[in-house]
Amino acid sequence: MADVSRLRNLALFLLLAAAWGSAFVAINAGLAYFPPVLFAAFRFDVAGVVMLAYAAYAVDDPVPRGRDGWLEVVSGAVFIIAAYHAFLFVGESDPAVTSAVAAVIVSLSPLLTTVFARAFLPAERLTAVGALGLGIGLVGAVVLANPDPANLTGGGTVSKLLVLAAAASFALGSVLSRASDADIAIETMEAWSMLLGAGLTHLLAFGLGESVADAAWTTESLLALGYLSVVASGIGFLIYFDLLDRLGPIEINLVSYVAPVFAAAAGWLVLGEGITPATVAGFLIICVGFGLVKRDAIREELRAAGVTG
């Protein structure tokens, strides 16, 4: 049964990385048609309604109960939905912040999660070797994305800091969700966090002067919105919160290191971006870093398979 559980977690982890890695391509495509913060709000308008309908079907009580339940919903809405996506979408709307640059910055999330976990979750700790693995994984993400160093230190500095703020918001939200003692179904928490987060993002868009009249409703824009709403948000966050409960915030946020692999593949398939030697090298380095962090689990798998004594 333990083996089945580990394989399930691995399959879900890779599915999540694929959904979120390819989302960078959909974001860049949609930003050509929508104001950035309003685009993020539209995304969770749709995703929240879809997830609330699913929660009503899948759980006995699709409404949060008690103070702790609503506090978990609010923390997810503020940090994981509204702040993360508003910062990310505004940052990526700057031409100087390509998908590759954004992926590199967002891959800081596991390191930031470690920092927040030390403050809020005393039981969450990394050994020195695990910390080294996180650092190596970040190097691999940088190599894979292969950004122009001059561009990283030149134009778009404010926008890159906004993407960094997005990564920090996501990391903090992950830790706060893990720290909550609320007994609330994942589907319920996700649906209400999305709906409340969408409302907050709409308020922010209004405050920034963004208007629905500025949106262009085309086949491409609807496809981008639909993919982000249903696949990256609905399915993706359902997997994310399930794995967050099983693995903890440090391990699950390692998805930020694997997602660039799928982002590179999606860019090649959808946008015709080539797979370079840097892509292959980055993937291998990420594997090394991930292997160091997960060395105990890998050793256990090898022992169970009879490879080691």
Query: What is the number of domains present in the chain?
Result: 1
Average pLDDT on 77-82 reads: 94
Residue 122 has pLDDT above 80, yes or no: no
Average pLDDT on 29-54 reads: 93
Average pLDDT on 260-283 reads: 74
Residue 130 has pLDDT above 80, yes or no: no
Range of the domain at 115: 1-305
- pTM of the full predicted structure? 0.78
More confident residue, 273 or 287: 287
For 23, 31, 199, 212, 233, the CA distances from 217, given in Å and listed in that order, are 19, 12, 21, 10, 20
Per-residue confidence (pLDDT) for residue 236, from 0 to 100: 86
Name the pLDDT band for 288 (thresholds 50, 70, 90): confident
Name the pLDDT band for 205 (thresholds 50, 70, 90): very high
**Nearest in space to 235 (alpha carbons), one of 59, 38, 23, 19:** 19
What pLDDT digit, counting tens, does each position of 160-190 carry?
788 889 988 988 888 887 666 667 888 888 8
In sequence order, what are the residues at sequence separation of 6 or more whose Cβ sits closer than 8 angstroms to the Cβ of residue 304?
Answer: 3
Q: Please identify which residue in the block is written with the tokens 């640059």.
A: 101
Per-residue confidence (pLDDT) for residue 217, from 0 to 100: 95
Kindly report the average pLDDT of the chain as a whole number.
81
Q: What are phi and psi of 62, to 5 degrees?
A: -85, 10
